[in-house]
Structures are given as structure tokens and as C-alpha cells.
Structure 1
Amino acid sequence: MGRKVLLSFLGLSDYEYCYYTYEGNVSSYTRFIQTAVYELFRGDGPMDVVVFATKEARERNGQDRLKGEERLEGLTTAFQRIAPEANVKLVEMESRQDEQANWRLFDCILNEIREGDTIYFDITHSFRSIPFVALIVLNYARFVKKADIGAIVYGWFEMLGRPADVKQLPPERRLAPIVNLTGMAGLLDWTNGVDQFLRTGDASIIRALTKKENSEVFRNPSSSQEMRKEVAGLNKLTEQLDQTEKAIRTCRSLQIDEEVQKFRQQLDRVRSSPTEAIKPLVPLLDAMEKKYAMFDDDPIMNSWKVVRWCLDHGLIQSALTMLEENGVTAICRVFGFDPRNEGIRSDVHSAIQILLRNIPKDQWRVRSMERVEQMVNALSPYRNDLEPFGLVKERRNDINHAGARPQPLKAEKFWPDAETTFKELFTFFEKMSMLAKSMQT
């Protein structure tokens, strides 16, 4: 079980006393945002505190010191007064900001994060490149150390005015809000999700993020009906997007056309109303549409195009499987056979191999001699177009048997062979499509 830990930075300024506020709660009177964040975000459990400071900042603000006749309370004393139970650790950091120093800062921060920690990150007194480095560390720690971000906050002291002006304000008017920036950190998740979708077609991260947004909006009693409707629509869209992608990845070839159509219908519903509910998702709508723009109302050509989708997203095994099986389905559609009938599909596979290998009739091993003979005769004019299926079958067997066979193919050969046979089989699918349409008229 990880800790709740506050990560913060200490600077050189002569911080003024104020009260910090967050969601109606008020901190103790303090010079330090760190004690305020501890009070307002610790909840019921303990929270460790790690404060990064240069040697100069630690000497200036870590301990009590005199400024003229005024005694300024240091960070350590402030915690002893406000939250004596807090486990506070000051970690020295460099004041340099060159590339090597930033890498050392990266290591310095990462070393203070433990497995499974929930991190509360205060950026109030971070400066120059520190916020950028720290955000990278946080994102890295989420993957490497399974850490969570509890909150990213900023103490908005400047809204009170210049320090000289604040000095003139009575304590009761020194109320500085803490701004929660955690929602912006969510853009890191959206960035990963968008990248994954655009590169691989995998919408699982986007789906999970939209589902989370949907849940949060419906739990919030202040959410308007319009906002709930928009979020629900986007949630259904990404749910359908994820379902469509899974249908392709798992080779649900007879289901893909239906799933693509459902996706387009939901996309049209979302586009018909102004959608700003989940801002990172809105720019993706065009990219989503383009992913499936190749599909039309021709099921036979769609069954060829889906192989292109698989190849574009590195799904070589799915591409080979669907290239062979969709060829069988295309023949079933032309002959008016049920493409889900196992016996019929077996005979279609046999008919293709009989044609390609010129197998004598007395050596046929088929379910229905009459049906296979009918298909062999009907497909004979297309023998040359069917030729690439021989290589497809060979490559599919090799990859499906995990290379556990004599002289397995080298891994790097599968993609170019799949790409070549895909292009060569265009003519076959196109002729089957035209033949199916002619038989319908």
C-alpha cells in the first residue's frame, strides 16, 4: 500500500503570511503553501511531505531567521506549529538548470517516490524548467512505480497583490485560493490514448477515459442535463469505437460491417449537437471518422479493405486470417451459401485447394461432392485470381502454429508476404463483388 505524499519546492522569497482556501475550507495562518496543502488535502490519513530546495533556499526558509528585528518562521517550525505529526523531509537540489542538472533533478524527484504512492504535487514555488521536469517525472512514475496523482495544486498568492501591498492587509483579508490543476494533468492520459489510437487503432485508453468522465459528470449534482447528454453521447461513441476495433482485432469478419455502421450512426448523433463536454476528445472526431472512411456498403469489398486496416496497424496474424476466410465468405455470398455454415465453408476451402493443386476427383476429401464439384466448375475461370491464396494459407498455418514446425518462416517475412498477397487478391475480390451484384439484379 503506497503513501500519500506531498511533493513541493521551496524558494528564496520572503513569503508573507496568509490564509489559503480550498473548496470552502481555510488553512492555518502561514507563510508556507506546503503547510496549507498538507492541512487541506491530507484527508483522514497521514501524508508524508518531501520539499525540494537549493542549499540557499534551505538556509533562508528552512529554519527560523531574523530579518532586521523581525523573526521569520521557517518551514520546519511552521510544520511543528500547524501539523506536528507530519513527516517532513527536505531534499537538497541543484540551483543549476542545464540539461545534466535537469536529469539529476529527474532522478532526485523519482527517488522520493515509492511504489504505489498517491502524489500531491505543489508547483507554487517551482521555477524555470522545474515544473516541466516534475510533470515528466510524475507521468513516468505512474507507469514505472504505479503511482497515482492525487492533485496538482498552485497557491495563488499573487491575487492578493504585491508583497508590499499584502503587508498592509489585515490577516482576515489575506485569503489566497489554492487552484487545482489536476484536470490539466489528465491531458497526459489523453495524449497517450490519442497516440495509441492513431498509431494502432486501439481505442481502449480513450474508452476508459471517456467512461471515467461520464461517471464523474453523472455523480456531480451540479452537472446540467445538457452536459450529461453530451458526455453520455461521447461515452457511447467511444464505447462503439472500442467495440468496432475489437471486432476487427478478433477477426469477427461477419460482424465488422454492422459495427462500423453503428459507429457512424453514433458519430452522426454526436456531430449533430455542439460538443464541448470532453474537450480532448472533440478534435479526435475527424480522426475517428477517417479510420473507417474506407468502408462502404459493399460487403465483399469491405472484407478485402479490412485486411488493409489490419496491415496498417501491424495486425499481421489477423490480416492473414481474414484474407483467407473473407475470400471464402465472398464465394459463399456469390453462391448464396450461408457463410456461417461450417460444412459449407470447409467445402469452399477444399474447392480452392482442388483448383490450385489440380487434385484428381478420386482424391477429394470433402463433405459434399456435388457442392464442391459445382464450386470447382464455377470458380475455374478465376483460377489465376485465386493463386495467391496458396501463399496466404501457408503463411497463416505457419503463424497460427507459432512457428512450431519444420523450417518455420523468419518473422520479418510475414509482413511483406501479407502485403503482397493482399494487393494481388484485389482482382479476385473485385470480380466476386461484381458477380454478386450481377446476380442480385
Structure 2
Amino acid sequence: MAKTLLTTLGTGDYTETTYFFGEQRADKTCYVAKALCQLFEIDRIILLLTEEARAKHWGRLQESLPPQVEKVAKAIPEGKTEAETWEIFDVLVDGIEPNSRLLFDITHAFRSIPLLVLLGAALLRKAKNVEIQGLYYGLYRPGQAETPIIDLTPAIRLLDWLTASDKFISTGSAVELGQLLDTVQRDFYRQQRPGKGDPRPTRLQSFGQAIRDISRSLELVRPVSLQEDLRKLQRHSTQELAEEVGQFAKPFGLLLQSIQNSYSQLALPAEKAADPQAQVQKHFQLLRWYVEKRFTTQALLLAREWVVSALCLCEGIQNYLEREARQGIEHQLGSLIPREEQLLGDLPATGSLIQHQEQLQSLPPIAAHVPDVQQLAKLWSRLSEYRNDVAHVQMKPKSLRSEVLESFVLQDLLPKLEALFPELTRTEGELEGDPSNSR
């Protein structure tokens, strides 16, 4: 794929200078586009210019460029109105072929064009799979024989940080942030050979992997694996990491503490890592986290299993992951559903007190652990129905509307669980502040 330079020209009287980039120097010229073609071996140049700029410079620039370079001029308005600004943006974006290798030059850009170039570059990367190989600016100063070309490419990566940061804040996913940290460290060693004693990134990659692992466990509802991932995060969260971030991944520094705080609330303290009750309480905190992030599917999946885990503990079953134990609890819960409309106040008018007492006596053992067995039956019925509805992805004649599922998760789920299992749904802080828990 041809390497393309997108540049602009105004109507100024440009002065000859020798442009240089690093150790490379171009021939003396008044057009930075010519220097960039020489320094970066450009195959195609796209020039954005107004009619006035075209009349003044286009002919001279064409003559100065190597004959093998394909030259394309695109007319743009002056950008005096919002409509003209969007017209410039359209010309910029529409002129680039998908999968191109692209360099931007904003040396002679005017008004809003530098901003449009930056935003256009970000859009092209995603929408057309364009590889942005550089964003450059010729720092010309009158009276100087040589002019440095400044690499502004990191500004484009700043947009990547912005996108990844927004995703973390809105969804809690740090996958993209982790990938950026990995890229920063890899690029450093790919592009530089640090000398002995020079600072170098050594922790960004491993920390990025740690937050990616956490994000995957969260996305795929792996509460057991999540604890192991969180312990890794704690091991990586050191002062040395913070210093390294400040030097090599400065945009991430604004989020480092936020990420550590957001994820650490889901972690079990080391002294309680083997405590089944603490584990189940922490799983409820994870459920609360899903609800806050509006992760309806994950919340439904976890909530259904959490009820089983909670009742296992209530029954004195410490190994709440054991299959037979869970199946026994599920069988008891299932036995509640057919009688849901008859229990505790919902008896038919013809029902007698004796019938009521017989039904209470026939309840399964788990009924003794909740303040309202009817509510437990109703909740289990809905959780089973909603979880199955999500799992079958509408591959059946009738299915629930998305609004019904979301409304249940966001409004009803947590309050109902808190009412049924008050001891297992309180946070560590709430439990510590409860006088009834003092010993």
C-alpha cells in the first residue's frame, strides 16, 4: 500500500530553509511537503488548499516534487462557518482510501484545520483501518538556517487514551488501557536502545496484563478467578509502577489510582481469603458492581448462583462450590415455586388454618433461613426464568423484552436479596459497624 502524505498550504510567502528530522536533512526548500516526501519516502501526496492558495502555490509545489510522487490537490473552503468546517472534514476523510499508510503535516494549516486533522486521523484509524505513521509540524523560525520537524504523533495516541479511559469509567473494562500499556513498553524497546543506567519501562506490560485479566474475569463472570487476578494487581501496584507510569505513560497516571480503587473494592483481604462467608459476601459486592455498571446479563447469571451459594452457607455447607450440595439446594428452591401463590398470606379464601400449618410444616429446610419464604420463591422463579431467557438468546417462540430484564436488575434485584439475606449482603464496613457483630 502506498505511503500517503496529507498536507495543506495557505497563501503565505514561505521562506526557504533546510528541514531536518533527527539526523536526517532534506534539501533546502520553502515547502515542508517537499522535505517530508524526501525524508519519509512518500509515494502519494494529497494537498488541501483554497482556491487562492492553489493559484499561488500549487504549480510551484508540483514542479519541486519528485516526478514519481503522485500529486492530488483537493479544494477546500476557508472554514469561516460551521458548514464550511464540516465540508473540510468531509474532504479530508473522503480522500483517504481504506487500509492506507498515512502521514499528516499541519505546518501550514490554518484556523481549525489542525484540530480537524487530529480528529480525522482518529476516525480514519477506526473507520477505514488506516495506519497513521506520523503527525508532523515544521517548527520554522525566521532567521534560522535549519528548521526541525516536530513529531506530534503522540497526540493521536492521546485520543486512544481518551477512548480507553472513557470505556473504563463507563463500563469498568480496562482491556484497552492494558493494551496501551503493553504497546508503550513494546514501542520503547523497539524504537530505542537505552544506555546503561538510563530509565526504561519494566512494569507497564505486566500491570497491563493484570488489569486485562481482571477485565476478562469480570466480563465472563468468573468470581473465583477474579480473586486471584486481584491479588496479582495488588502485587503490581507499587510506588515504582507509579513512577514508571509518570515517565512513560503519563495519560494513564490520571487513572492509575481510580483503577486500583475500583478493583480493590472487589478483592478479599488476605486474612479472609479462605473464609467461605467472606467469599460469598464479596460475590455480592461484585453483583452490586454489575448492577451499577448496568451489566444486566452478568448480574442475572451471578445472582441466580449467588442465591444457591448463600443458602449453602445457611445450611452449614462450607464448600458451596460442591456440585451435589448445590443441586440439593436448587431442588429445594424448585419445590417452592409451585406453591408460590399459596404461601404466607396468599392462600385461597377457603383455606383453613390447619391447611396453612400443614403447608408450612412441609416447607424444605432452606425456608427457615429467610424472613419471607414467599418472597424467596418469587425471586427464585423470576431469576430462573430470566436467566434462562437470556441464555436462550430469544431462540424460542416467546421471550422477554429487554426492558423487563433490565428493569428487574436495576430496580428489584438488590433490594430483594438484601431483604432475604441481610447478613450476607452487607459490606465489610457495615458488618464492622454493627454492634451485634462485636465479640
Give your verdict on TM over 0.5: yes
Q: Which of 259, 279, 289 in structure 2 is aligned with 1:288?
A: 259
Alignment of 1:11-410 (within 5 A): 11-42=10-41, 47-63=43-59, 74-79=60-65, 83-158=66-141, 161=142, 165=143, 174-219=145-190, 220-222=192-194, 227-228=199-200, 231-268=201-238, 273=243, 275-276=245-246, 277-295=248-266, 297=268, 298-334=278-314, 335-357=316-338, 376-377=364-365, 379-382=367-370, 383=373, 386-387=376-377, 388-410=379-401
Distance 2:225 2:58 in 1: 65
Deviates more, 1:211-220 or 1:288-297: 288-297
Alignment-mate amino acid for residue 72 of structure 2: K
What displacement does 1:62 show?
A: 1.8
Q: Deviation per CA, 1:335-391, whole angstroms, max 9, x where unpaired?
A: 2343333222212211222245459xxxxxxxxxxxxxxx94254232356342221
2: CA distance between counterparts of 1:324 and 1:143?
Answer: 38
Query: 1:432, CA displacement in angstroms?
Result: 4.5
The equivalent of 2:343 in structure 1 is none
- Contact kept in structure 1, 2:203 and 2:241, CA below 8 Å: no
Which amino acid in the other structure matches residue 212 of structure 2? Answer: D
The count of corresponding residues between Structure 1 and Structure 2 is 393
Secondary structure, in 3 states, of the residue corresponding to 1:151? strand
Structure 2 gaps of 5+ residues are 269-277, 341-362
Contact 1:20 1:155 in 2 (8 A): yes
Q: Aligned to 1:153, what secondary structure does the other structure show?
A: strand
Query: SS at the partner of 2:302?
Result: helix
Secondary structure at 1:113's aligned position in 2? coil
* Whole-angstrom distance in 1 between the partners of 2:186 and 2:20: 27
Is the 8 Å Cα contact of residues 217 and 223 (structure 1) preserved in structure 2? no
Partner SS state of residue 202, structure 2 = helix
Alpha-carbon shift at residue 331 of structure 1 (Å):
3.2
CA distance in 1, matches of 2:91, 2:366: 73
In the alignment, structure 1 segments of 5+ residues that lack a partner are 64-73, 167-173, 360-374
Distance (Å, rounded) in 1 between the aligned partners of 2:425 and 2:13: 78
Q: Deviations over 1:39-92 (max 9, x none)?
A: 1112xxx520011111111111222xxxxxxxxxx111111xxx2211111222
Aligned mates of 1:327, 1:275 — CA distance in 2: 41
Q: Once structures 1 and 2 are overlaid, which stretch shifts more, 11-20 or 255-264?
A: 255-264
Q: Is the alpha carbon distance of 1:384 and 1:304 closer, same or farther for their aligned partners in structure 2, counting shifts above 3 Å?
A: farther
Aligned to 1:412: 403
The TM-score with structure 1 as length reference comes to: 0.82
Amino acid across the alignment from 1:60 = K
Counterpart-to-counterpart distance in 2, 1:301 and 1:179: 54
- Residues 379 and 207 of structure 1: CA distance in aligned 2, closer, same or farther (over 3 Å): same
Q: Which amino acid aligns with 2:218?
A: I
| 1:422–1:270 CA distance, 2 compared to 1 (3 A) | farther
Counterpart AA for 1:350: H
Q: In structure 2, what residue type is equivalent to 1:131? A: P
| In structure 1, C-alpha distance between the alignment counterparts of 2:22 and 2:256, rounded to whole Å | 34
Distance 1:328-1:254 versus aligned 2 partners, 3 A rule: farther
Question: Matched residue of 1:352: which SS?
Answer: helix
Change in 2 beyond 3 A, CA 1:114/1:273:
closer
Higher mean C-alpha deviation, range 17-26 or range 424-433: 424-433
